[in-house]
Structure 1
């Protein structure tokens, strides 16, 4: 019997199945691995692999260092130029609103002929609050808590000013309805505007602290990559010495020096930056927060002191016996005392302590004068109590004069701490100056030097 065979397909196996793309890729990969293994069995081949690995490690270190330091520089720049100014502006919005409320009540107490300087102070406060709201809206990102509070303040501020104008118009005509309008305006300020301003301040301060943390975070990946690259370069030079008994390879030595410089620069720069930003936060921002809170408490206390005379017992506290505004005044003064005590603890130089100490003395004097005015008011002598609160031609030692002393002292303290913050934060940012560009350049130089050093060894085999 004849036996027949089937011809195999061209390029196929005995079964006739064609070789697919996967088989081709597998063959190419296997050939590449085999070539690499063969190259590693000779010294020139091993040198080429070592050179490629060293250059790659140095470049990797440079890339990671540039990436991490760029993020920290951006965060530090935001602390100095964006988030801290926005936090300060939010605090200024709160102060301006509280001071406007205080000025409006002071002007109301003065009667139909409102003092020009009081009116100008109110208008200046409202203009400042409006300007800062516009600035905050332009610099705050879309969405988020800050945007919502800015919108609420922008909506409610005209309503408040309208109530104040109605109170002022009725007061000029001698109508008692003016006091009701003023109390309602104060309620709107206390329950709507100031809480919104407080939430805005907290949101911006939270973003400031986030930027702080990002700027002060240690670049762990870059540090690890730098140590790895440096260790590999040291190993390569030791290997070279053991094989050739030559102490130095100029290329590898230059690559090691470049890598060490970047690693040292990174370590020192980040350490100094962390120190500067930490000082800005601990000695500057924390003091600013305490002083801002103390100043706000003083403004609220002054407004409540004025409203005590305006309401004349018409608004009762929760116990249905005490005057609401007098009770609120006492709470505000306790907050002010606590804030000033804390501010004295945080003050780290005479320029910071002196205005706070002056404010403490002013508060003590304010309490004494308020007690005297309150005694006159409770006794029914409104005509005597009024100048004791707002001052006048024959009454220079008023509680209002004491409040002005406290407010001016706190303003001076805030300005000093703001300056201290700016100096410390800019010092921290300056420590990172040039590091991004320097790391990139030195990494390229180091990688090139490593390749040249290995190339010098390879030339000995030709």
Structure 2
């Protein structure tokens, strides 16, 4: 029997809507570590094994030995350069500055002497004046070529170059008037002397002081002990002894050839550094005390003698026309007395510095004796002039025999002889000091490299036992 279709359709099953699956939880990324931290960890891990410890010890020793060589080479190179400057630059410049001063003072003295001789100036006096001016001009050119124009020395050189032609022009005017018998010549000569004493000589003295100061700076730089290099060397040797003692305690082997070679190389550098610099320092100190100091005293004494001679001549040229500020005495006579006092004091000091050196002491004694005679003759000449005998006083001052001029020439020649001797003393001692450092910078660097290589070989021999 057929059944009729059902009129109501069967309800569809409800659709199940599922929630979205949760996202997977990711583990946090590990924090990034710095290269320093990783290196430290590796170093710490290596230090837990004997091969690792040996590598660390070897690296530290090699660095110390190389650092010792580098520091020693650097410090000694600096000291060697300063010592070379003392010998080849600053002392020659100081000597040239002293000669500039001396040449200018001597030119002024020669000009006054020629003027007193009369209208016809003696040929030797004229030649001496011309030589002094030429010497001063040449040395000024040389000094300018070796000096920074913006420095104090450069400024003094520029002023000297500006004033020197003015001075020579005044001298030529004085000569021209003197040849014609005009009294104006004496005025020009006095004015030229005033320019010399108030402008040229003070500038030359400042130049000399500046160059001498630079010389002493070079001395100080050359004599400084290489403290840092010695300290690093002691530390390097301490590290080498520690490594060898450690090797002996762990292996009972007395010597490690590589470490022994490194120790010997480092000890040689340290000994060379200390002894070489001590010898150089001693020689430089000798050149300073028995050379440069004596040269300075003698140069000052010679300049005082030149200035005294110029003032002595100008006393006769001026004939009392120039008085001191209080008006009680002749200005040139007063200046002469002061310069002679300084001359005798300088010669006394030079005697003390030359004590024990007969070759240096004899000319100083001769200069002192001649200076005493000079003073006695000068007193007689002044007395003669004061009594109205001008011609007699003139002969007593510029005469060929038994004059103050003769004494002055003896003083000047004796001081020059002493200066030549002290210059040789300085040159010998200073060159010895410089030579004591020769080869040390290169030697220290080479031995340091060899020492580091020896340490590396010694440590590698120990490492090979663990393979």
Query: TM-score w.r.t. structure 1 length?
Result: 0.95
Note if 1:446 corresponds to 2:454: no
Q: Which has the larger radius of gyration?
A: 2
Cα distance, 1:373 vs. partner?
Answer: 0.8
> Structure 1: how far apart are the matches of 2:71 and 2:432?
24
Hey, what does 1:376 align to over in structure 2?
Answer: 384
Note if 1:424 corresponds to 2:429: yes
Q: Check the 8 A contact 2:160/2:204 in 1, yes or no.
A: yes
Summarize the alignment of residues 35-434 of structure 1 with structure 2, pairs less than 5 Å apart: 35-347=42-354, 348-392=356-400, 396-434=401-439
> Structure 2: how far apart are the matches of 1:391 and 1:6?
125
Q: How many residues align?
A: 449
Cα distance, 1:409 vs. partner?
Answer: 0.2
Task: Give 3-state SS (helix, strand or coil) of 2:321's partner.
Answer: coil
> Structure 2: how far apart are the matches of 1:194 and 1:5?
102
Cα distance, 1:13 vs. partner?
Answer: 3.6
> Structure 2: how far apart are the matches of 1:222 and 1:128?
46
Q: Check the 8 A contact 2:149/2:155 in 1, yes or no.
A: no
Task: Give 3-state SS (helix, strand or coil) of 2:43's partner.
Answer: helix
Task: Give 3-state SS (helix, strand or coil) of 1:461's partner.
Answer: coil
Cα distance, 1:453 vs. partner?
Answer: 0.3
Task: Give 3-state SS (helix, strand or coil) of 2:262's partner.
Answer: helix
Task: Give 3-state SS (helix, strand or coil) of 1:315's partner.
Answer: coil
> Structure 1: how far apart are the matches of 2:119 and 2:456?
88
Cα distance, 1:4 vs. partner?
Answer: 5.9
1:154-204 Cα shifts (integer Å, max 9, x gaps):
110000000000001100110000000000000000000000000000000
> Structure 2: how far apart are the matches of 1:8 and 1:179?
114
Question: Structure 1 residues 190 and 7 mapped into 2: Cα distance closer, same or farther (>3 Å)?
Answer: farther
Cα distance, 1:5 vs. partner?
Answer: 4.4
Question: Structure 1 residues 312 and 27 mapped into 2: Cα distance closer, same or farther (>3 Å)?
Answer: closer
Hey, what does 1:457 align to over in structure 2?
Answer: 462
Hey, what does 1:437 align to over in structure 2?
Answer: 442
> Structure 2: how far apart are the matches of 1:152 and 1:8?
89
> Structure 1: how far apart are the matches of 2:210 and 2:194?
24
Cα distance, 1:6 vs. partner?
Answer: 5.1
> Structure 1: how far apart are the matches of 2:325 and 2:422?
39
> Structure 2: how far apart are the matches of 1:59 and 1:293?
50
> Structure 2: how far apart are the matches of 1:134 and 1:236?
62
Question: Structure 1 residues 115 and 42 mapped into 2: Cα distance closer, same or farther (>3 Å)?
Answer: same
Question: Structure 1 residues 389 and 42 mapped into 2: Cα distance closer, same or farther (>3 Å)?
Answer: same
1:30-49 Cα shifts (integer Å, max 9, x gaps):
22211111111000000001
Aligned Cα RMSD in Å? Answer: 1.4
Q: List alignment gaps of at least 5 residues for structure 2.
A: 1-17
> Structure 2: how far apart are the matches of 1:4 and 1:158?
108
Question: Structure 1 residues 39 and 388 mapped into 2: Cα distance closer, same or farther (>3 Å)?
Answer: same
- Aligned structure 1 segments of 4 or more residues deviating by more than 4 angstroms: 1-9
Q: Check the 8 A contact 2:320/2:330 in 1, yes or no.
A: yes
Cα distance, 1:8 vs. partner?
Answer: 7.2
> Structure 1: how far apart are the matches of 2:110 and 2:122?
10
Cα distance, 1:141 vs. partner?
Answer: 2.9
Query: TM-score w.r.t. structure 2 length?
Result: 0.94
1:212-269 Cα shifts (integer Å, max 9, x gaps):
0000000011000000000000000000000000000000000000000000000000
> Structure 1: how far apart are the matches of 2:128 and 2:21?
114
> Structure 1: how far apart are the matches of 2:97 and 2:155?
14
1:44-69 Cα shifts (integer Å, max 9, x gaps):
00000111100000000001001100
